[in-house]
């Protein structure tokens, strides 16, 4: 059986006494074992990173950018193989795996502009013979802790700006989907990145805690569930680290009566059930405004759901594949049962789906609830599966209130032809990312990604200019090169007075 190890100092390192199973979600069978590292292994990775970082930081930014350009070329060269590998561990269909890789590469492409992105400011003649300028410098050794659902995209969101800015990076990927991050490490090395600048350590909570406690790791970026994000943020901040922690979500799709319902329903179905709902930017709640709109939306949703094809991840005709593990499948089924017990109407039940020849796979059909209430725990919690809940809103204000009052504040979408209403909604909704007739409003690479409330902990978002800010610190230099005659009037007493630009 294949064994997935660590990548430290430019080579595969096998060092562990504990292991976790990596499943094939299509069959339910164990396809590999991943090593679970500890604090001793992390010490090796940090030492390697620290040695490599100084030379990498001293490399001029244009040369660093050339490595990023080459990395993009290599990933595109191997894109089909990477997508197949990703799909085999996660269960998402091949087309979705390609999207996972592409959205990560777009951030690498943005980071190729690092010579411009890290330029400082300069003021000449701020005072007599005085110039002031700023430098944006790397932090040193930084780390990223990533979830199972985007094993290419999210590691690239984190490591690309960190590496471009001159840091060394330690990645702790999910032990459920470890193989693609390991392959990315090999491609970084092939692209010309010096050994030790990018390292991968496999592990579970023991490794996470070791990262949060290590004094040489200056910053940590995290994506995962909100409870763990809050824990990671608190422990890392208490250790004096710069922290950026993205949590869970319960994104809403608001449908106004004037919306193009056919387009809105097509968008909602894709956003709710794509990747089996295992996205923090999925759209698991639809909130039509008015009973007539709700009835029409439900009718169209049922027809669209009945036309969905659930299949193995390699099936090019499948709309989505299995969920990642048997435990996660059981958790989703528990939430479906909870919704029924809370009084929501189960319009479509995805439980009990089995594919011939893949009876052990972790498959769930699409589930639709109607008449869901905001007081229900199944609405309040993040289910993270192919479950769509309809909450009927009797007015625009009631619909606006739903995502604004929810504990999560990651993303929201509004479907309407009314520009004034859309503008008002975008201005007032208490959510970090808003789509107007866009169901999954993940910002492009030169903006930034981040939610509000329990969807985000920390002051800076992922990638974009915020990513550059997160992985650098500013040093401001005030310098004077006075001519002799300009210095003649100075007295010793001047040194005891706060400097002013006279």
Give the CATH number, domain containing residue 164: 3.40.605.10
Together in a domain, 234 and 274: no
Distant-in-sequence, close-in-space partners of 406: CB < 8 Å, separation ≥ 6: 250, 252, 380, 453
> pLDDT tens across 389-441, in order?
999 999 999 999 999 999 999 999 999 999 999 999 999 999 999 999 999 99
One domain, residues 258 and 211: no
d(CA 193, CA 324): 32
d(CA 190, CA 184): 10
Backbone angles phi, psi at 145, to 5 degrees: -120, 115
- Asked whether residue 499 is domain-assigned, the answer is no
320, 93 contact by CB (below 8 A) = yes
Q: How confident is the model at residue 30 (pLDDT cuts 50, 70, 90)?
A: very high
| Domain annotation covers residue 329 | yes
| Per-residue model confidence as pLDDT tens digits over 299-326 | 999 999 999 999 999 999 999 999 999 9
Q: Is residue 447 part of a domain?
A: no
Is the four-CA dihedral 447, 96, 90, 88 of positive or negative sign? Answer: negative
Tell me how far apart the alpha carbons of residues 49 and 211 are, in angstroms, rounded to a whole number: 13
Are 135 and 29 found together in one domain?
A: yes
Tell me what the mean pLDDT of segment 72-88 comes to.
98
Question: 321 and 187: one domain?
Answer: no
> Any idea which residue has 């800015």 for tokens?
165
Using 50, 70 and 90 to split pLDDT, how confident is the model at 492?
low
Within-domain flag for 429: yes
- Residue bearing the bigger pLDDT, 412 or 495: 412
280 is catalytic: yes
Spot the catalytic one: 112, 159, 245, 280. Answer: 280
State whether 22 and 107 are in the same domain.
yes
Domain count, the chain: 2
The contacts of residue 131 (CB under 8 Å, 6+ apart) are 122, 123, 124, 125, 478, 479, 480
Q: Looking at residue 392, which CATH number applies to its domain?
A: 3.40.309.10
Listed in sequence order, the DSSP H helices in 239-371 are 261-273, 291-306, 326-341
Bridge partners (DSSP) listed for residue 415: 255
Task: Enter the DSSP assignment of 434.
Answer: E
211 and 259 in a single domain? The answer is: no
So what's the pLDDT on residue 497? 74
Return the residue matching tokens 């069978």: 29
What tokens does 296 get?
């029409």
Same domain, 277 and 219: no
For 364-386, how does the pLDDT look when each residue is reduced to its tens digit (9 = 90+)?
999 999 999 999 999 999 999 99
pLDDT at 493: 61
Asked whether the predicted pLDDT for residue 119 surpasses 60, the reply is yes
User: DSSP for 84-96?
Assistant: HHHHHHH---HHH
Q: What confidence score (pLDDT) does residue 491 get?
A: 56
Q: Domain check: are 71 and 194 in the same one?
A: yes
Is 487 part of any domain?
A: no
Beta bridge partners of 199: 170
User: Does residue 502 lie in a domain region?
Assistant: no
Residues 229 and 92 in one domain: yes
Q: Give the pLDDT score at 148.
A: 96
User: Are residues 300 and 158 part of one domain?
Assistant: no
Q: Is 222 in the same domain as 289?
A: no
User: What pLDDT sits at residue 457?
Assistant: 97
> At 482, is the pLDDT very low, low, confident or very high (cuts 50, 70, 90)?
confident
Contact indicator for 466, 451 with CB cutoff of 8 Å: no
Q: How far apart, in whole angstroms, are the C-alpha atoms of residue 337 and residue 352?
A: 13
In a domain, 346, yes or no: yes
Of 329, 261, 480, nearest to 25 by C-alpha is: 329
Give me the chain's average pLDDT, please: 96
Identify the domain boundary among 409, 436, 463.
Answer: 436
In the block, residue with structure tokens 């107007």: 436
d(CA 390, CA 285) in angstroms, rounded, equals 6
Dihedral in degrees, nearest 10, Cα atoms 142, 104, 187, 9: 10
Residue 174 CB neighbours (<10 A): 26
Same domain for 459 and 372?
Answer: no
Question: 21 phi and psi, to 5 degrees?
Answer: -80, 140
Q: Which domain holds residue 308?
A: 252-436
Residue 450 lies in a domain: no
């Amino acid at each position: 059986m294949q064994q997935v190890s660590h990548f430290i100092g430019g080579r595969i390192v096998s060092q562990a006494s504990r292991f976790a199973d990596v499943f094939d979600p299509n069959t339910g069978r164990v396809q590999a074992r991943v090593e679970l590292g500890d604090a001793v292994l992390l010490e090796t990775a940090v030492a390697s990173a620290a040695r490599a970082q100084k030379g990498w930081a001293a490399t001029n930014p244009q040369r660093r950018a050339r490595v990023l350009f080459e990395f993009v070329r290599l990933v595109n060269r191997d894109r089909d193989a990477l997508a197949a590998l990703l799909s085999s561990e996660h269960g998402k269909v091949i087309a979705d795996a390609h999207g996972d890789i592409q959205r990560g590469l777009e951030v690498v492409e943005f980071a190729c502009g690092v010579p411009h992105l890290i330029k400082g400011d300069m003021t000449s003649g701020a005072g007599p013979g005085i110039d002031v300028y700023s430098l944006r410098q790397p932090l040193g050794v930084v780390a990223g802790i990533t979830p199972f659902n985007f094993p290419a995209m999210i590691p690239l969101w984190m490591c690309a700006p960190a590496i471009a800015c001159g840091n060394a990076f330690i990645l702790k990927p999910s032990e459920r989907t470890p193989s693609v991050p390991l392959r990315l490490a090999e491609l970084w090395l092939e692209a010309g990145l010096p050994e030790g600048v990018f390292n991968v350590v496999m592990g579970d909570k023991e490794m996470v805690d070791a990262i949060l406690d290590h004094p040489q790791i200056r910053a940590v970026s995290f994506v995962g569930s909100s409870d763990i994000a809050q824990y990671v943020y608190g422990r890392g901040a208490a250790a004096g680290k710069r922290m950026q922690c993205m949590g869970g979500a319960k994104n809403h799709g608001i449908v106004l009566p004037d919306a193009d319902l056919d387009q809105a329903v097509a968008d909602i179905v894709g956003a709710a059930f794509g990747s089996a709902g295992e996205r923090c930017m999925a759209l698991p709640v639809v909130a039509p405004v008015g009973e007539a709109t709700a009835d029409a939306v439900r009718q169209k949703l049922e027809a669209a759901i009945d036309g969905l094809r659930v299949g193995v991840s390699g099936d090019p005709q499948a709309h989505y594949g299995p969920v990642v593990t048997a435990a996660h499948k059981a958790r989703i089924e528990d939430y479906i049962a909870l919704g029924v017990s809370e009084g929501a109407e189960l319009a479509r039940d995805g439980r009990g789906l089995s594919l011939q020849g893949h009876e052990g796979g972790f498959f769930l059909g699409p589930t639709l609830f109607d008449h869901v209430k905001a007081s229900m725990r199944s609405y309040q919690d993040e289910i993270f599966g192919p479950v769509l809940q309809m909450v009927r809103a009797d007015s625009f204000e009631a619909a606006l209130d739903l995502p604004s009052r929810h504990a999560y504040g990651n993303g929201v979408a509004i479907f309407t032809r009314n520009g004034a209403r859309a503008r008002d909604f975008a201005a007032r909704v208490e959510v970090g990312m808003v789509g107007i007739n866009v169901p999954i409003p993940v910002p492009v690479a030169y903006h930034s990604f981040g939610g509000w409330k329990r969807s985000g902990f920390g002051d800076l978002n992922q990638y974009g200019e915020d990513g550059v800010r997160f992985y650098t610190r500013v040093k401001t230099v005030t310098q004077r090169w006075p001519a002799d005659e300009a210095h003649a009037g100075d007295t010793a007493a001047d040194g005891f007075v706060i400097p002013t630009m006279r």
